[in-house]
Amino acid sequence: MKMSNTQYGEMAKEASAPSKSWRNIPKAFVIGGLICLAGQGLLEMFGAAGLARDEAAAYTSVTLVMCSAILTAVGLYPKVAKHGGAGTLVPITGFANAVVSPAIEYRTEGWVLGVGAKVFAIAGPVILYGTVASMIYGVVYWGMGVVGVR
């Protein structure tokens, strides 16, 4: 069956549920904000414990990743993400969830072909393109310094 772009657009529009942005955006904002608030609370707590700012930030990141991984493993993070949408994807916790979810899903296939092969199924492209983009940016930045543009 051959169809035009217009026909395909109409068919896709009919099959898609209407977005409830007026409800989803505030929920994502609140839930993402609560995750960031928890991160700020951890940062302040580690700072009050006597850690330097850099060390406190590192401990905060590790703690948030660990909490996200544990909540994903016990099935709570996906429930929060169902309501929080993009609010749960943007912080570092969303990245940890993207790494842990495929690992849990494919664990029955074994450590090598299951977990090892699928652990970066979702996060892999982010890592790849982030690395490539940073390399390109670094070369451009270096090139600007060579020609004296900085």
What gap in Å lies between CA 22 and CA 100, rounded to an integer? 31
How do residues 103-116 score in pLDDT, each as one tens digit? 777 777 777 777 77
According to the model, what pLDDT value does residue 1 have? 66
Higher pLDDT, 87 or 41: 41
- Residue carrying structure tokens 């990743």: 65
CA 14 distance to own-chain centroid: 30
The token pair at 142 is 């270096």
pLDDT surpasses 90 at 23: no
66 three-state secondary structure = helix
- Residue spans of the domains in the chain: they are 24-119
End-to-end CA distance of the chain: 56
How do residues 53-70 score in pLDDT, each as one tens digit? 999 999 999 999 999 989
Q: What is the pTM of this model?
A: 0.66
Q: Residues near 100 by Cβ (< 8 Å), separated by ≥ 6? A: 68, 69, 72, 73
